[in-house]
Amino acid sequence: MALTLTKTPFHGHRKGPVVVVVMDGYGLGADYPGNAINAARKPVLDELFKTCPWTRLAAHGTAVGMPSDADMGNSEVGHNALGAGRVFSQGAKLVADAIASGKLFAGKGWGEVVANALAKQSTLHFIGLFSDGNVHSHLDHLKAMIVEANKRGVKKVAVHALLDGRDVGETSALDYTEPFEAWIAGVNPDYGIASGGGRMFITMDRYDADWSMVERGWATHVLAQGKRFPSASAAVKGLRAEKPGVIDQDLPAFVVERGGKPFAPIVTGDSVVYFNFRGDRSVEMSKAFVGEVPFKREKPDVCFAGMMTYDGDTNLPPRILVEPPTIDRVMGQYLADSGVAQLACSETQKYGHVTYFWNGNRSGYLNEKMERYVEIPSDRVSFDERPWMKAAEVTDAMIAELKTGRFGFARCNYPNGDMVGHTGVFNAARMGVEAVDMCLGRLLPVIKSLGGIALITADHGNADEMYEMDKKGGVKMENGRPKAKTAHTLNPVPFIIYDPAFAGEYSLGTAVAKPGLANVAATALDLMGWRAPEGYEPSLLTWK
């Protein structure tokens, strides 16, 4: 059934496209020495804030479907909200609810992995991000599954811990490994951590950007190849001593041994659960177990399950523990069915966000005849080394495509504030923000020349807090230096309307009491002269 839109009296009042520009990781944070956005030289954005209608949007917590407002947002849920125009309960909440209700443990997926381990007296393995950041995973979910496995008589459980330092404190690994190792020994002395390493060194690649990370993870988790330590905590301490200044996400891989041999390589007959609930950094390792990958490996015959479906179009993985949210009636489908051509563009690191996540977790085109997707390959370097990333190339592509005159709606993502922000390097993050500002200085005049409108926003904060804050709002110090922060923030994000032909037709910011990212879709449709679909969060505009 076609999902068509109804025109409003404003339809046709602007001849050019509406373009949503997502400045990834650009939050509106406190004015303190760790705010790389405030420190950046950004004349274009400064002028926009002075001259254009703008407001603040909530981009975390319940505004994007997370369990509570203490939970940070992320790029995936942010782009879901932007593209769907509504708020859906997201991975963390779905998993927590499934555990609390017992639905997860009564489900087919859980039943199969446990039954396999019991029938073959084999090991049940858990691979995933080892923190309580609640962006990709949560330790409470892991603990609940371990307790249930023990109740059901699973002989041996092995955890393959991907150290975080990104969604939590950058050197907080021991805050998780030490109490966990004591806890799991109390559950069952035959259970324990078997391997691990930094999340940006092994396993958690995304968008096929660097398969060597996955290959290293395979060697570590499956083959138990790597430097051995008596425990995960000993590994963290030892690797930090070898590499002073290294943050958790970059720690080398390690293997835990017991009795002089690896505690738990993954072998034929075992069960394996990838316990991350978020899809982007789960797809590749899932393919390693149940699909095809670009590296050679001897694949053990295991019973593999993912926490959720990581790619709906390819049904990856086939066995899951919790059903993902069903995001229907997305903005892109309505526009395509109404005859509006659309453009989506970013570099590899965020390409999936302006396509897959924007379209409600769907791979590929919604309507290939009405859409054009452009991916600029990302550099395979640490982003603090090239903080400008591919912002210029994304801008080149946007300008070239917009000048064709084909598109009524477009969206792009500049990843700099987020990806460089995650490195924890303040000056690099500042430069990343400045690179985006320079690119806006090129892109906006083109939109103006086409008679269009730009909506400039972000999906969450990051570069706005590059140093940990103390209780007084100052900078937390460690070893005489500011303690870097690499996680997202809870700060609101900007929403700026750049409309060069504005003639007072509307006002911004008075229609919705607590605006969030989900309000952007209806607002964009409003400015294209389309009435928002039933059930969408309302437009932020009041028409005069």
β-bridge partners, 372: 343
Residue 407 has pLDDT above 90, yes or no: yes
How many CB atoms within 10 Å of residue 6? 11
What integer is the mean pLDDT of 86-100?
91
Residue in this structure with the two tokens 């399950």, named with its chain if needed: 305
What integer is the mean pLDDT of 92-116?
96
Residue 313 has pLDDT above 70, yes or no: no
Of the ranges 216-230, 278-292, 481-495, which is most confident?
A: 216-230
Q: What is the CA radius of gyration of the chain?
A: 24
β-bridge partners, 375: 346
Q: pLDDT value at position 181?
A: 98
Read off the pLDDT of residues 262-295 as tens digits, 9 standing for 90 and up.
999 999 999 999 999 988 899 999 999 999 999 9
* Mean pLDDT rounded to a whole number for the chain: 96
When pLDDT is cut at 50, 70 and 90, the band that residue 68 belongs to is: confident
What integer is the mean pLDDT of 55-77?
90
Q: Burial level of 381, CB count in 10 A (0-12/13-18/19+)?
A: exposed
Q: pLDDT value at position 353?
A: 94
When pLDDT is cut at 50, 70 and 90, the band that residue 312 belongs to is: low
Q: pLDDT value at position 67?
A: 78
Q: pLDDT value at position 36?
A: 98
3-state secondary structure 400-436: HHHCCCCCCEEEEEECHHHHCHHHCCHHHHHHHHHHH
3-state secondary structure 235-256: HHHHHHHHCCCCCHHHCCCEEE
Strands (E), 201-301: 228-229, 254-258, 261-262, 271-274
List % helix, strand, coil for the chain (3-state, nearest 5).
35, 20, 45
Residues annotated as catalytic (active site), given as ranges: 75
Cβ(147)–Cβ(124) below 8 Å: no
Residue 183 has pLDDT above 90, yes or no: yes
Sequence-distant (6+) residues with CB within 8 A of 40 are 430, 431, 433, 434, 437
> Structural domains in the chain?
16-89+326-543 (3.40.720.10), 92-306 (3.40.1450.10)
β-bridge partners, 157: 124
pTM of the model: 0.78
Residue 278 or residue 393, greater confidence: 393
Residue 260 has pLDDT above 60, yes or no: yes
Is the torsion defined by CA of 291, 295, 299, 304 positive or negative?
negative
Residue 39 has pLDDT above 80, yes or no: yes
